[in-house]
Amino acid sequence: MIKYINHMLIFFSKLLAFLPLPIIHQIAKALGWILYFCNTKSARIQRSNIVQSGLCKDEDTIKQLINANITETGKSLLESLAIWGKSESELSSLVKGIDGWEDVEAALSLGKGLIFLTPHLGCFEITSICYGAKHPVTVLYRPPKLKFLQDLIVKGRSRTGVTLAEANASGVRKLMQALKRGEAIGILPDQIPAEGEGEWADFFGKPAYTMTLASKLAEKTGAKVMMVFGERLSNGSGYHIYFNKVDTIATPTLLNQAIEHQVAQKPEQYLWQYNRYKARRHAMQKLNAPKD
């Protein structure tokens, strides 16, 4: 049954890929609102996270950001399926501009590798494909809870120059090996890490269990760190990719500050529906433990 669903999803992804991006985004706007009204829990998390961020000055701007974010979330979901089905040449034509590429080349020239941090902001699927067309990159990913999505995700993300590493001990070794070769790796820094793989640090003023992997890899290898953001341009006209240098992510607090700064550039394109403040049971016990 799972194999049949896999084939159907891959077929749908390829079918969707035939549509121009403006049409995909128009359809996705409706999808975003349908999901918003059908999933009240997600809607509550979205509003709570936006209020917590402090990026809105009053109730009117909160509502404006929520409305914009609903349509952008729909775009993110549908465009990912389309991207996974499109050819690399089609995708390269959708990248309308790149900022910070000279910093990428400068970091690579040092020979110690490069760590890309890509939060759930804008089109994070396009960034590794764009970079992989020029240089090899190993991207850490977490297998989906819905097993029937596994083949679709792996096939869609496996492109020229892009190697996937599962989020486990073997995958971390792949990341380390890539950095030792002087190559780049990609990590989603705002995912909740597994128990024992993170520390508590404020994210928009509230404690969030935050990964330590990126900072440990940077410390061990001397690799440079950059934030990467694929801005979704208006009217389905494509994407603009930004590579921004980060001075340090030596602590989870500094990592979260770097993510906050990136999110503030285009808050309507952030995945506010993700429960960033959820925690593993033992991590929560550690947070609530009395201080000496």
Whole-structure pTM value? 0.90
Please report, in tens digits, the pLDDT of each residue of the chain (292 residues total): 556 666 676 777 878 889 999 999 999 999 999 999 999 999 999 999 999 999 999 999 999 999 999 999 999 999 999 998 888 889 999 999 999 999 999 999 999 999 999 999 999 999 999 999 999 999 999 887 767 777 878 888 888 899 999 999 999 999 999 999 999 999 999 999 988 899 999 999 999 999 999 999 999 999 999 999 999 999 999 999 999 999 899 999 999 999 999 999 999 999 999 999 986 555 555 555 555 5
Query: Which strand (E) or helix (H) includes residue 190?
Result: none
Measured CA to CA, the distance from residue 146 to residue 151 in angstroms comes to 11
4-12 LR contacts (CB < 8 Å, sep 24+)? 5/148, 6/148, 6/150, 6/151, 6/152, 9/148, 9/149, 9/151, 9/152, 10/85, 10/151, 10/152, 10/155, 12/81
Question: DSSP assignment, residue 168?
Answer: S
pLDDT given at position 153: 82
The full length of the chain comes to 292
Show the DSSP H helices in 158-275 as ranges: 169-180, 213-221, 252-265
pLDDT given at position 63: 97
Task: List 228's β-bridge partners, or say none.
Answer: 243
| Inter-residue contact 261 to 203 (CB < 8 Å) | no
Measured CA to CA, the distance from residue 198 to residue 192 in angstroms comes to 8
Angle between helices 59-85 and 21-38 (to 10 degrees): 120
Backbone angles phi, psi at 198, to 5 degrees: -150, 180
pLDDT given at position 177: 97
